[in-house]
Structure 1
Amino acid sequence: MHPARARLIHDRPQTQGPVLYWMHREMRAADNWALLHARELADQRRQPLAVAFCLAREYPLAALPHFAFLLHGLRHTAQELEALGVPFILLRGEPGQAVAQYARDARIGLLVTDADPAKPKRAWLADLLSRLQCPAMEVDSRNVAPARRVSDKAEYMARTIRPKIQRLLPEFLDPFPALQRQSLPWPGPAPATDWDVLLATFGPPPAHFPPGEAAARQRLDAFLRQGLPRYADERNTPVSPASSGLSPYLHFGQLSAQRAALAAMAANAAPQAREAFLEQLIVRRELAENFCLHTPHYDTVEAFPAWARQTLARHRADARPFLASEAQLDAAATPDPLWNAAQRQLLATGHMHGWLRMYWAKQILFWSPDAETALARVLRLNDTLSLDGRDVNGYAGAAWSIGGVHDRPWPERPVFGTVRSMTFSGAARKFDVRAFVSRWSGPEPA
């Protein structure tokens, strides 16, 4: 692993003892730099390695389908690890406290964990480090180019971060080694998990997205065959999309973005199709990571650029054509048939086409009394209903849609001011709106 992916986050005296990888963002056994680095460090120390995951009592806005998707996939990961002689330890409770307690009980000598700028994960990590007695390292396995290496500030937009990422790709876009079998035994018994009982608590996984590493690779392979060749021209067509459908697997760490990038680069597709996909997979995703990493208030209007806050304030009193209630949004009962169809797609599948998600969010701004209310609504609906919610991509997308983050001023319009708007007529010029509405049809309001 490239050493720039890792950083020491807890400087404590070196002691003998096993190595523990606290897995909380990259839930996979394959193509996982943090796991590979933990294994390498364990070998250097001549100590065994175990993987721990803590099932938190709650996670903001996460719903049962999210936990079901996570845990059904995690069971397969645990089986893969245990087949390689690496114990998988499922803990429960407040993650910082539970992981620190297990580290003490098992006399862990070194802890390795995932990098994640999300507020709940930052709080877990701070709690852990306040209790931890051994050194700890953090590894960036999410991004092809490690976020802290790319930039030490919040980038203005894609064009400012793109060259910084592209300069680093030859250095970091390297193939993954295989995780080798571990021969050293774990000292003492590892806590057993009754997976059948646990999974019954959360119910079946989402029907439209089978969970787990194997399912993620199957979805990637299908996209490379069927979607990637059409991607450059048809990715923004919700009726017959060429989009990858990988976002739930990327969000839950069941697939490595670097693995997807390497596979796309080797795929049989036109160069412009590969370039368009890699722009979304690498540049746009890593721009979102940069936004949340360097913007602690990423989920509030304070994250909006000054020009957007000013223009939204000037248009705060503008008349809205329709003021939606929370119940109308939840039930897909607005006057806009396209918005309703997109919301029904989200309700039915846990996923919404990417272009529609931008339109969907901007209409919520149009129908809300102010930007603060609109942003809170977008985040609540996205994080509660979407399998890829509670993700840096979602926070950056909401901030782009409502507050012009990573965008520029546009011609002034009511309500939006100079924040970019998206309209039903504009959608009708891009794709067959009637076909999409028909597919996700339901009773429209009178």
Structure 2
Amino acid sequence: MASSLTPPPPPAPNPTPVHPGRIRLLSSGAPSPTSTSTSTSGPVIYWMFRDQRIRDNWAILHAAQLAASSSSSSPLAVAFTLFPSPFFLSARSRQLAFMLRSLRLLSLHLTSLNIPFFLLRGDPVLTLPSLLRRLNASALVADFSPLRPFRSSLDAIVREVGNEITVHQVDAHNVVPVWAASERLEYAAKTIRPKIHRLLPEYLVEFPDLPRLSSPWIGEEPPGINWDELISEVKREAGDVREIGWCEPGEDAAMEMLMGRMDGFLTKRIKNYDTDRNDPVKPKGLSGLSPYLHFGQISAQRCALEAKARRKFSPQSVDAFLEELIIRRELADNFCYYQPQYDSLQGAWEWARKTLMEHALDKREHIYTREQLEKAKTHDPLWNASQLEMVHYGKMHGFMRMYWAKKILEWTSGPEEALSTAIYLNDKYEIDGRDPNGYVGCMWSICGVHDQGWKERPVFGKIRYMNYAGCKRKFNVDAYISYVNRLVSGTKKRKSESL
């Protein structure tokens, strides 16, 4: 059996339309150590977690093809494990309700395809093997995530059932699978970019249709789900971070954000993306896709294919979008996959740790507690606005995230506290928190990951510096603060009307 925490094993033999480099054989089970086809009529189970969609999903495509290619045509089922911290980390009602509302829609779609959907509660290391044995499953196909909680759970599940059934893992989240893009921790975008570009012709291809399953489901039926009750329960348990209203959950809503005729990113808003994406006063200049990409409600590969098809209309903006969508996102996955301490000062490069520790005791002009920062109670109206945008909107403009995190380094007692505070606030309020992009964003801002050393200065050492004056030169600071104030006022108004 192979561990998902060790260097990747050779690709599994592959009878499906899925690129073989996208699939890893984690356990060959019994009886055949080399074949990926199932040898019994037991169902193939797709353990969905990171890629919560049916459309454009290499993992479910592989699972369906495995089921269709078995000796007696096995049925297919989807399992999703909903379980408590630390797996979902500091996810609150904002993120979990968004996810569950999408899963409700997904379960209906699966039902229409005669594919049962099992929602499991509790530790997946216990609940998933139990389900596999009750159903007499012949194979398990798992999503890929570079984050520790998922990887350790998958390792434990492989140890538990790997001698009984075949276990595959499919990277359906990245355009180029993380283990194919690079076999090591990359230093920066410039080192991974040529590797990814070289592989794009192989991997950036159109998706086939989901195979039609000929074997009906005749096994254990999934228990009914009272979705309203479940969402209310999870919201009570997860904490009172208000849900967002600016984006609807689900695959259809994600495609509308990408391709909608009224306000779709690629159809209406991409023209000035190369310039507007760095201006916090122009939120419409952003794609709005990050919540959907984080929860896997849309495929990054679908976004890339549609963008490439429109490149002749806005080449600079499409190229800038593809750089963010593919290179920067996959660089973040690379960091979290090959650097186990991706959310710690120990995960920074040696030069960055050294300079931060040398300046850890430097005098700070301002020191704020975590509570003061969370409540946006600082002397800096620009920083306060960025924090309030995140709290009330569930999303902070990408440029402001850099300034926001760097000021936390400047205003806390040391780099360890700064990093833990930035990650705590990001994961609590950002709808796309608890994501490799978020961890790498905090590590870039505070620990210089994927960056270089700059002119040495107090507190920051050689970490890149940002200040209020620099922001004023780049965009209309007062207009951004006014924009956030309107967001906050609108949120408070909606909250009072709902009471």
Superposition TM-score, scaled by structure 1 size: 0.97
Q: Is the 8 A contact 2:135 2:220 kept in 1?
A: no
Q: Is the 8 A contact 2:68 2:213 kept in 1?
A: no
2:237 is the counterpart of 1:237: no
What residue is the counterpart of 2:4 in the other structure? none
1:142 alignment partner AA: H
Comparing 271-280 with 12-21, greater Cα deviation is found at: 12-21
2:392 is the counterpart of 1:367: no
2:254 is the counterpart of 1:216: yes
Give 2:158's match in structure 1, choosing from 102, 111, 129: 129
1:187 and 1:130 map into 2 onto residues whose CA distance is: 28
Q: Is the 8 A contact 2:48 2:78 kept in 1?
A: yes
2:482 and 2:221 map into 1 onto residues whose CA distance is: 53
Deviations 1:77-99 (A, max 9, x none): 11111111111111111012111
What residue is the counterpart of 2:58 in the other structure? 33
What residue is the counterpart of 1:23 in the other structure? 48
Aligned-CA RMSD value: 1.4
1:190 and 1:360 map into 2 onto residues whose CA distance is: 49
Q: Is the 8 A contact 1:97 1:131 kept in 2?
A: no
Structure 2: runs of 5 or more not aligned = 1-17, 32-38, 236-241, 490-499
Q: Report the Cα offset of residue 208 of structure 1.
A: 1.8
2:191 and 2:439 map into 1 onto residues whose CA distance is: 19
SS at match of 1:327: helix
2:331 is the counterpart of 1:264: no
1:164 and 1:389 map into 2 onto residues whose CA distance is: 27
SS at match of 2:80: strand
Q: Report the Cα offset of residue 205 of structure 1.
A: 5.1
What residue is the counterpart of 2:496 in the other structure? none
Q: Report the Cα offset of residue 130 of structure 1.
A: 2.4
Deviations 1:141-199 (A, max 9, x none): 01101110111110000000000000000000001122244332123232222223223
Q: Is the 8 A contact 1:285 1:393 kept in 2?
A: yes
2:250 alignment partner AA: G
Q: Is the 8 A contact 2:65 2:211 kept in 1?
A: no
2:149 and 2:185 map into 1 onto residues whose CA distance is: 20
1:427 and 1:11 map into 2 onto residues whose CA distance is: 55
Deviations 1:99-151 (A, max 9, x none): 11100110001000101110110121122122213110000001101110111
SS at match of 1:117: coil
2:2 is the counterpart of 1:2: no
Give 2:298's match in structure 1, choosing from 234, 245, 255: 255
Deviations 1:317-336 (A, max 9, x none): 21111001111111011111
Instruction: Give the direction of change, closer, same or farther, for the CA distance of 1:340–1:205 in structure 2 (3 Å limit).
Output: closer
SS at match of 1:38: helix
What residue is the counterpart of 2:10 in the other structure? none
Q: Report the Cα offset of residue 354 of structure 1.
A: 0.7
1:137-286 to 2 correspondences below 5 Å = 137-192=168-223, 193-202=225-234, 206-221=244-259, 222-241=264-283, 242-267=285-310, 269-286=313-330
1:36 alignment partner AA: L
What residue is the counterpart of 2:359 in the other structure? 315
Q: Is the 8 A contact 1:84 1:180 kept in 2?
A: no
Give 1:57's match in structure 2, choosing from 75, 84, 96: 84
1:42 alignment partner AA: A
Structure 1: runs of 5 or more not aligned = none
1:261 alignment partner AA: A
1:182 and 1:88 map into 2 onto residues whose CA distance is: 15
1:321 alignment partner AA: E
Deviations 1:402-428 (A, max 9, x none): 111100001111110110011111111
Number of aligned residues: 443
Q: Report the Cα offset of residue 316 of structure 1.
A: 1.2
1:418 and 1:379 map into 2 onto residues whose CA distance is: 21
Deviations 1:285-314 (A, max 9, x none): 000000001001111101111111111111
SS at match of 2:81: strand
1:63 and 1:416 map into 2 onto residues whose CA distance is: 32
Q: Is the 8 A contact 1:13 1:134 kept in 2?
A: yes
2:372 is the counterpart of 1:347: no
What residue is the counterpart of 1:12 in the other structure? 29
SS at match of 1:91: strand
SS at match of 1:90: strand
Give 1:89's match in structure 2, choosing from 105, 118, 121: 118
